[in-house]
Structure 1
Amino acid sequence: MKKILIPIFSLVILTSCGTSKVAVNDKSSSTASGSSVFKSDKGFQSAYQTIKLEDLKKNLYVIAADDMEGRDTGSPGQKKAGVYMTNYYKSIGVSFPKTLGSYYQKVSAEYMKQRGARNLPDSENILAFIEGSEKPEEIVVISAHYDHVGTRNGVVYNGADDDGSGTVAVMEIAKAFQSAKKAGNGPKRSILFLHVTGEEHGLFGSEYYSDNPVFPLANTVVDLNIDMIGRDDPENRGKNYVYVIGSEMLSSELKVINEAANKKTVNMELNYKYDDPKDPERLYYRSDHYNFAKNNIPVAFFFDGIHEDYHKPTDDVEKIDYSMLQKRTQLVFATAWEIANREARIVVDKK
């Protein structure tokens, strides 16, 4: 997540930042205007159980390894991480958008320079895609940034939580949807797995995508953004929780859907502290979901809080709570499953 300087430090405010068995309640319910797809949906349950702690850990140990050199925007280390990610998608049979022609969407140095970046090289967003079976023109976006802050004074900032945790969560969610598709239970709406670059320098990758969308923004149903979900903050130490930000800013249905998905699956505490417009951290504006929200697309941002290793070289894989990472990943998957498969597209009825 992009760092921000708040008034106590500066006068300038920057606006950019073994498998656990989790029971699924099979009782039917409804969410907003569309009937719930959970019910006794064996397709959902089978896919949900493919989200494994061991796989999240395996991928994160690669993405946040020292040889990725902190994944700074456009750096050799970030490009190496990108190759690992695209090879992963190939291995599970998830391709890229046909109109794009590859997994890569170039974000040029010139584009980033025009938005205030200094001396950043060309970089790339990475896009993987599963086409919907009934409403393929409607797109559910699941996003995370895969860049971090690189190496400083010879010390690698691995960014295991920020945002290695979100990166591997998106990869695991893609695997779950692909397993459902192989079993004949693919999503009705299309799913775009969007790994963006340049977040730490100014949300550049997501801004570039919103300026140059591979799929029309008018057809984009939601962005579920994952940025730091592998740790806890001092305020919630040891709790079973996740911050959810922005879920009711643009749609009266998205928060309801997410809460229903939570109750049916991991049953975590959903903390809405940062939904307060007066909160000085301004987190609604500081991660990649905002470039969708400003285009009137409903968003939900999943986040674990500001912990003591945020933007420090000590944000390492050994400090990740992999059980919590798994649960939060499962929650995002359950929310995405509902949105992708419900009869009605979620409404946009707030400004």
Structure 2
Amino acid sequence: MNDATPLLRELGFDENMAQVYFALVDLGRATIKQIQAMNKPGKSLSYSQVYHALKKLLNAQVVEQHPSFEDSFSPVNPSLVFDEIKQQKWEKLARIEQDLADRYERSTKEFGMCTIQTNRFYFSSLDLGFKIITDRFINSATTILVFLAPPPTLIRQLLPALTRAYGRGVKLEIHYSVRDFEEYPNYPAVLLALCKNIRVKLVQRQFRTYDAVAINDELTRVGSLLIDNQQLVSVPYHRIKRTNGEIDFGIDFFEGFFQAQAIVQNIIAGFPENPILQMIDSIPPRESQILEYLKDHPRSPKHELSLALGIGGTDLREILARLTQHGLILTEKVPQNRGRPVEVVRLA
């Protein structure tokens, strides 16, 4: 069968029409008997079959008849035929796309309504979940974001929003225990690599920090995101093995509460500080560089910081603003004998 036969069938060609059309394309112009002579072994068509196939092709406007030339026939330019096929397929795909988009919009609206009405939310897709968590929760955070046993997949997906939150002065903490990710012996290093450009405090706990639930008879871990110590988002996830043998964790869905201050406070109370366990306060390299410089050079003017560390004015202002928001440094203006006061920076 010619590779184009299925496409021609989408235009309403039957097998005889396709065979006659291909013969005409090869011959250019031919009579019914000449078309018959082009029949392949095992696929011969009678005079009547060729005649009726030609009538159908004429009606489909893909061949032309030439009565003055021995009542011969010729094909219409194939590019025109396939332009028609492409147009029909495009219109069909456009209808399918629109239908799916409409159904998706209806489903997401329905889930959103359910969320508002019940103070609990589920999302019809992970993309929608990440978008709403980012827009409604992380972007509105003002003081602190606390993750309990988050899989690296979650941090990676939310990293742009976390970076913006950090820039606004929001503190970031990740609490975990060695029992949370036994498959990830380098779990802290993975998180620090992901969060290399933002300040994050990693707090190791003695007991596991995730909840364990059974979903479809399989153990599912549930991490949490606490926003401003008032709101809660739960993130169920499961262990998966990549094709390269590496272990990762896939997020199943999201659930939680819009306002759950009592629940959040109970969760926090369940994790008392334990000074024996490890705590890492990770600071981005350039911010750490400034803090180290200020230890040796207290009350440094801003222009000296810029020259000494090679950090441009705009970048320096942004970094100093973040350090100020996080309570690590203070800036003050020192009067001069001449000219304007000089802004100096010191550790808080």
What interval of TM-score do these two structures reach, taking the shorter chain for normalisation? under 0.3
Higher strand share: 2
Taking CA–CA contacts closer than 8 Å with sequence separation of 6 or more, which of the two structures ends up with the larger relative contact order? 1
Point out the structure with max Rg over C-alpha: 2
